[in-house]
Amino acid sequence: MELTLIIAFVLALLVGLSLGLLGGGGSILTVPILSYVVGLPPREAIASSLFIVGATSAVGALRHARAGRVRWKTGLLFGVAGMVGALLGGVVGDFVPGGILMVLFAIMMVATASAMIRGRKTAADRVQTEDRRSVPRVLGIGVLVGFATGLIGAGGGFLIVPALTLFAGLPMVVAVGTSLLVIVMNSLAGFAGNALTVPLDWPFVLAFTAIAVAGSLVGAKLAGRIPERALRRGFGFFVLAMGALVLIQEVPPLIPI
């Protein structure tokens, strides 16, 4: 058991690093770690993940905010809309088979990753996108992303960061910081719904969270030093690889023999 805990805590550093550097990857990394490495039941793993990711994202968001990399108005609007969408997505998700949900998730990951890798061709494109940004647009995108997140149950940052860069017109490093604010809001809403019925191992959860927070501080510090294009493309390739992996795992069982 001690070796398992050591491995889990080492992986907790990676969770924090991913959140601090990329603004995503929290739930999609934490839930498998808690389920497959630590051996927690699914519901306990999800509830624990919501607390860990929410607390870690909050610390990371503050670090990014001090560096001027959080767009508060956009983040709060996106977050409120995302909470509404996540609630709706969670209700609908109860009626959709898990395998199909994961395939939909993977397809969305591949699509957003491809857009991130391609990026915008000119600086004028970014200015034009920012000029078109409006409150209704941010709210609409927030609801859609929140719905997808609630439907899938994970992957908020993977969807939020591309949405903020491609549709809300934010630079990558600002989208990363703003994404953490949105993740805090969504995680808080999700944790409140789970904490009432799911018992948690609080000493372990707090220890995991503390280590993840340390990783997020390192990631936030590195985020401002890496060129935006390299960060965006690296994030895109990472999401693309994760989406391909999910498709490889989930599609074969759905094919009738």
pLDDT string in tens for the chain (257-residue length) = 588 888 999 989 988 887 877 777 677 778 878 888 888 887 788 888 889 988 988 888 888 898 898 999 889 999 999 888 878 877 787 787 767 877 877 787 787 778 778 765 433 344 444 444 467 777 888 888 778 776 766 656 767 887 888 777 888 888 888 988 998 888 887 787 777 778 899 999 999 999 999 988 888 788 667 776 777 787 778 778 877 887 887 788 888 76
Specify the pLDDT at position 1: 58
Compute the distance between CA of residue 190 and CA of residue 224 in angstroms, rounded to an integer.
Answer: 30
Compute the distance between CA of residue 55 and CA of residue 58 in angstroms, rounded to an integer.
Answer: 5
Specify the pLDDT at position 115: 72
How big is the chain, counted in residues?
257
What is the DSSP-derived secondary structure letter of residue 153? S
The dihedral built from the CA positions of residue 74, 106, 155 and 228, taken in this order, carries a sign that is negative
**DSSP codes, 190-255:** HHHHHHTT----HHHHHHHHHHHHHHHHHHHHHHTTS-HHHHHHHHHHHHHHHHHHHHHHHHHHHS
Specify the pLDDT at position 126: 44
Specify the pLDDT at position 124: 38
Structural Rg of the chain based on CA atoms: 17
Q: Could you tell me if 83 and 189 are in contact, meaning their C-beta atoms sit under 8 angstroms apart?
A: yes
Compute the distance between CA of residue 185 and CA of residue 138 in angstroms, rounded to an integer.
Answer: 16
